[in-house]
Amino acid sequence: MTFKLATLAAVLATTMLGTAHADLTIGVVQPLTGPASGLGIPVNKAIALWPKTIAGQTLKVIVLDDASDPTTGVKAAQRLVTDDKVDVIVGSSATPVAAPMAEVTAESGTPQLSTSPAGLPPGKDKWFFRLPQSNGVMAYAVIEHMKKQNIKTVGFLGYTDAYGELWLKAFTEQGAKAGIKVVGVERFARADTSVTAQALKLTSANPDAILIVASGSGAGMPQKAIVERGYKGKIYQTHAAASPDLMRTAGKDADGAFVVSGPAMIGTQLPDSHPSKKAAVAFVQQYEQAYGPGSRNQFAGHGTDALTVLEIAVPVALKKAKPGTPEFRAALRDAMENMGRTVLAHGVLNWTADDHWGYTNETGVMLKVVNGEFKVEQ
């Protein structure tokens, strides 16, 4: 597989004696093609807006396309840690890709800032930090909203992969405690072009609500399928669907859908008291100034938040070692783990040695699609 290698226009390496030398090397592995490209492209666009330096260190950013494929993602990670000796890897936004990449980053001792909510076995995420909110935290927000809607039964329509399974587990466990029962489970693959049979089964059961667990443009197809079957109950989507792609692919059938999201998507709608309002508004303004009104995306926010993390952690790590060394990578990992309370566009993060998710139950914001736009649910 030939990787697509792009040197971001906004990031340049210094040149000394005719030899390019980058003080701080960042590897980016994102799905720029394939079914998950709607997630990876916005992250890449956000990274393209990064400054040229962090803590006085010139950046060299190497971007590789994982093509939404786990094998390709692993090969990309291997290349970055072996050939390029990157100081940190950002990615992937596809959960089935980010998880196997973690074996490479752990073995090489390279911090990985995952832009997907990938779950790893206990004790396997020493070098793996998640920028998206955990499925459990976001499921909490969904269930709290369902309780207000007096929803008692839910049908599940989600991906067959880890993202779908982790959501099903988190939602089922928390829902049971709230008196909400999952009465039907249907699955589909990311590459599927139809979910008609699954939609028919769920709508025939007529639960109070249906939870769709999909991402980017892939969330629009099941949304349309359910609405077209004449379903009149509530439809919920996860934070991976908090993107204009939902409205683009589902059209008018997206209206009325409830979508849980981090605060980055709707910064201007947040109350002034919300800790992430300033960061969220700054993200939206910068991103949409570069790419146009309405272009902001849940995943683009993770690209911006990755910069915030590095701007805090890199100066701390530099006190112990120089970039390009195992000692620096270890110091960078330790610095991330000990940042303490950190306000991001996507919420308040507090990574610890025991928690590389970091977000609290106050993080999730419930949105509703109204006339093709996201509106904060009060």
Cα within 13 Å of Cα(344), Cβ side: 34
> For 79, phi and psi rounded to 5 degrees?
-65, -45
Query: Do 90 and 18 share a domain, yes or no?
Result: yes
Please give the DSSP secondary-structure letter assigned to residue 137: H
Is the residue at 316 inside a domain? yes
Give the domain-ending residue among 200, 226, 261.
Answer: 261
* Tokens 């006190």, residue located: 319
* Residue 266 resides in a domain: no
Q: Are residues 105 and 211 in the same domain?
A: no
pTM attached to this predicted model: 0.80
Does residue 103 share a domain with residue 19? Answer: yes
Please say which residue of 261, 296, 318 terminates a domain: 261
- 123 and 67 in a common domain: yes
348-377 mean pLDDT: 91
C-alpha to C-alpha distance for 306 and 190, rounded to whole angstroms: 26
Q: Are residues 199 and 293 in the same domain?
A: no
Domain that holds residue 170: 135-261
Residues 15-71 have pLDDT tens digits of: 333 333 448 999 999 999 998 998 999 999 999 999 999 999 999 999 999 999 999
pLDDT interval class at 271 (50, 70, 90) = confident
Are 154 and 211 members of one domain? yes
Asked whether residue 222 is domain-assigned, the answer is: yes
Kindly write down the DSSP assignment for every residue of 315-363, as one continuous string: HHHHTT--TTSHHHHHHHHHHHHT--SEEETTEEE--BTTBSS---TT-
Can you tell me the distance from the alpha carbon of 90 to that of 11, in angstroms, rounded to the nearest whole number? 15
In degrees, rounded to 5, the angle at the alpha carbon of residue 133 between the alpha carbons of residues 372 and 121 is 135
How confident is the prediction for the chain on average, in pLDDT?
92
- 75 domain-assigned: yes
Q: Does residue 152 sit in the same domain as residue 39?
A: no
The answer to whether residue 275 is domain-embedded is: no
Least confident of 50-64, 167-181, 285-299, 304-318: 285-299
Residue 99, CA distances (Å) to 13, 94, 117, 248, 360 in order = 30, 9, 9, 29, 22
Same structural domain, 73 and 178: no
114 closest CA partner among 97, 135, 136: 97
Residue 95 domain flag = yes
Q: Are residues 151 and 170 in the same domain?
A: yes
In a domain, 363, yes or no: no
Indicate whether 213 and 296 sit together in one domain: no
Are 168 and 124 contained in the same domain? no
pLDDT tens, position by position, 309-347: 999 999 999 999 999 999 999 999 999 999 999 999 999
Question: Is the domain of 87 the same as that of 19?
Answer: yes
Q: Which token pair is 168?
A: 């099903």
CATH number at residue 122: 3.40.50.2300
Residue 58: inside a domain? yes
**Placement of tokens 């809607």 in the chain:** 149
Tell me how many domains the chain contains.
Answer: 2
